């Protein structure tokens, strides 16, 4: 059992076993593809905590690691982190223009109000930098080539699984 977190939105996933050779995952929440680090020793603290005493017991019975094993483990961890970092950078290089983002979200000049379900909205966004919920609005911020786009959603609709876009502006 291992836990991996999406580098873009932080959603975490529990995997029964690590995919062969590391592999990649597509985040169900935001659609980001990211690398799963290869096996590198004990699971992260969060996973051990979630696993409870069973996890601790398994670790106890694990044969003691040699220094060489530890070094290889460290290298694998660092390589995994580097791959994830490069993927994040590579994704960030591809920031859309403001116009492209609007098209991506289905906003057309003179068109009516745009509404879709939450999953579709997340897929269309691709990634976002942060979001906040305030009073009756949910704000999403997405880096675009000209700066940053602010997408304002209706909070009531959002809590019912619908993304109703009230406003999009370039900041």
Whichever of 41 and 126 has its CB closer to Zn ion, that residue is: 126
Residues 1-20 that bind Zn ion (CB under 5 A): 6, 8-9, 11
Please, what is the minimum distance in Å from the beta carbon of residue 25 to Zn ion? 9
Whichever of 89 and 113 has its CB closer to Zn ion, that residue is: 89
Residues 23-62 that bind Zn ion (CB under 5 A): 27, 29-30, 32
Whichever of 125 and 153 has its CB closer to Zn ion, that residue is: 125
Note whether 125 binds Zn ion by CB under 5 A.
no
Within 8 A by CB and 6+ apart from 81, the residues are 37
Please give the Cα distance from 99 to 78 (Å, whole number).
38
Please, what is the minimum distance in Å from the beta carbon of residue 29 to Zn ion? 5
DSSP output for 9-76 = T--EEEESSPPTTS-EEE-TTT--EEEPPPP-SSPPHHHHHHHTHHHHHHHHHSPPPPHHHHHHHHHH
Whichever of 29 and 58 has its CB closer to Zn ion, that residue is: 29
């Amino acid at each position: 059992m291992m836990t991996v977190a999406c580098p873009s939105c932080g959603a975490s996933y529990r995997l029964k076993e690590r995919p062969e050779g590391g592999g990649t995952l597509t985040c169900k929440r935001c659609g980001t593809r990211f690398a799963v680090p290869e096996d590198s020793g004990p699971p992260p603290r969060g996973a051990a905590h979630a696993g409870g005493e069973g996890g601790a017991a398994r670790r106890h019975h694990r044969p003691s690691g040699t220094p060489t094993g530890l070094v290889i483990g460290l290298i694998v961890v660092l390589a995994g982190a580097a791959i994830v970092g490069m993927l994040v950078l590579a994704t960030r290089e591809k920031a859309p223009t403001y116009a492209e983002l609007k098209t991506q979200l289905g906003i057309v000049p003179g068109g009516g109000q745009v509404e879709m379900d939450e999953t579709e909205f997340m897929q269309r966004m691709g990634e976002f930098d942060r979001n906040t919920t305030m009073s009756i609005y949910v704000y999403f911020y997405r880096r675009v080539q000209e700066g940053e786009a602010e997408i304002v959603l209706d909070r009531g609709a959002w809590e019912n699984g619908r993304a109703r876009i009230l406003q999009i502006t370039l900041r």
